[in-house]
Structures are given as C-alpha cells and as structure tokens.
Structure 1
Amino acid sequence: MELQAIDFDESSLTLSESDFAPELPHFSEEPTVATETVKSHLLALENYLESANRESEYLSVRRMVERLLEAFSGQCRVSAESVGRNLDLVSDWLGEPRLGLSLAPFSSRSHPHLDFFFRQSHLGLFDYCRMLKRYLAITTDVFSVTLERSDSQLALVFHPHPDIYISRHQTEGVVASVC
C-alpha cells in the first residue's frame, strides 16, 4: 500500500548519503502493538460511540475498556494479531464496517505521545517523514514503513506483515492516522 507521493523542494531537506540507499522492509518475528496505542484506540472507541449517540454500546464498551486497561497493566506491548481479531469482533458487534476510519481521528488526538510529535513543525519534509516512520515503528509491528525518494518525490510505503492476520480496521486506522 502506498500513499500518494509528495513533491518537495530540494532546499527544505537535510539529507545524508544513506538517505539515497534503497530501504528494505523489516518485520519482527512476533509482531506487537504498543499498549499505549491500544489504549488510545480503546478510548477513541468510547469517544466515537459517545459522539455518535450510541449510549447503550458506549456503556458496554466502557466496561470492556476498563477490563482491558487492567489486563494491560504493567505490559508495554501486546500481540498485534489478537488486536486485529478483536477489532473485527468489535466492528461486527457494532455493525461498523469502517471502524478503523471511524476511530483514527479520535485515536490520534488521544495518544499520549503525539502532542510532542505534532509540534515538530521546524523539521523539513524529509526529516518529518523519517520521524513519522520511526513513530510508526514504535507504535506497531503490523506494518513496516519504508521511505522512498526519487529526484522530486518522497513516498512512505506501507508493507503489511507477511506472517500474521491483519484486520482491515488496522490497515484503515494506520493509514487514516498517518493522513
């Protein structure tokens, strides 16, 4: 999956020789998602349901979120595959076929580390994309992200993990959050 390439001004970049080398995707053996990312998605689910006036589902989800947050206590990362399967279950239960797209705006706003990330406006486009790539690598192992550059374009390329189940909602959520 590839986001549309962005044309850039050569003078706004800080480049080193290694920035021109082709980059290969890197996948971990047992992909995980940062617990903070899952927590922000769970809270986003609450916020989404509340904003959509779906109070009965909101109360059920609130209880589920509280139990999951207790279960995550002391853990830094959780299995990416089980997160994807649970997203599918929640989507089916809510009758929400585009859950990842619905949650992304709420999740991005509630993730504890994004405030710092979005204040980095002093960076050039290439450096900002490298920072975004690094941030994505920390939050999830579901995708490997490479940064490709040509003479006048820069592209973030998303490579889904080849060995695990990835839900449509995970794909939508990652791409919507990046956008």
Structure 2
Amino acid sequence: MPRNIAVPVIASLILFAAAPLRAETPLQSSALVSSSVEAALPLADKIIVRKAERKLFLMSNGAALRTFKIALGLRPEGHKQFEGDFRTPEGSYRLTRRNPNSEYFLSIQVDYPNEQDVKRARKQGLRPGGAIMIHGQPNTPKKSRDYYANVDWTEGCIAVSNSDMVEIWLMTPPDTPIEILP
C-alpha cells in the first residue's frame, strides 16, 4: 500500500478494522464511512506540546483525550529564532493548512511565525523561517525506523508515528489552538 494513501481511505480502513460487522450493503459510500469515523472520534479543542517530555496532548475541556510520543527539531532546546536553527518554536499558535500529499505521512501546518516571531528575527537581520508542521514519518525514509522513533530528527517540526498522525488528523478541526511549551 503506498505511504501517501488518501486520508478517506485510511479513515475507511480504521473504521473497517474497528467496527463490528453490520448487515449493510457491501458498497457503502466512502462519505458514509468517513463520517462514521469522524463521529466515532472525539474532537480536540486544543493541543499542548511539552517539548522536554517529548509529548503531544490532544485536549478537550482541559482533559487529555490522547497522548503521543514526539520527535522535535535537531536542536530542541529553546524557542525557534530564525530559519535554519533546527529549533521547534515555543508559544501559542494555531493549526492551519492540511497537506495529505506532503513529503511526510500527512502534515498539518502550525501558523509559525507570528508577528512577534517575525519582529524578533528581523531585529537580528534574519528570516524567521516557517513551514513548521505536525507530521508523520518520511514517505521515503533515509534512516532506520528506530532512528525516527527515538531521535529528534526534524528541522523544527513536530513528528509522530504514522498511526498517531492519522488520529491527530481526524481529531483536530481547522484552526485548533496549539500551545508549545519548553
């Protein structure tokens, strides 16, 4: 199965694997299946990332719905200052654009840089960088599976396993706030 498989197909597979058998026609529409998966999963109203713990929490009304192990930028300590510093930003942002066809298994963009980030970088005569995402593993891995699971390896993004990325994708509505803590 290709690694960049369309999300509705993934959602259908999750539902099929998890759902009890029912007496329905075998040719259900993918819209029905996708809406059933979305209805079965609670939606997060916030994401909290704790960099020091290497954890991402999907939150709803102050309670954690799910917790995921994460990998960060190659230099994880401290707030992202400029393009190419290999740091993951810290602060309050929002989830914006979704890309089911990225270089990584699914990706959701974090709206870094904000106005403060741009000002800080420009004061130093630098560009703030961008394209900070929550994403799965590379579609074309260059390292072992163990490496991606146990090392901070991104250029500043927040990486999770592919199966975790499916849950994050399905459980976060557009414009979900994300708080990235040291």
TM over 0.5: no
Which TM-score band applies after superposition, normalised by the shorter structure? under 0.3
Greater helix fraction, Structure 1 or Structure 2 = 1
Q: Which has the higher strand share?
A: 2
| TM-score normalised by structure 2 residue count | 0.26
TM-score scaled by structure 1? Answer: 0.26
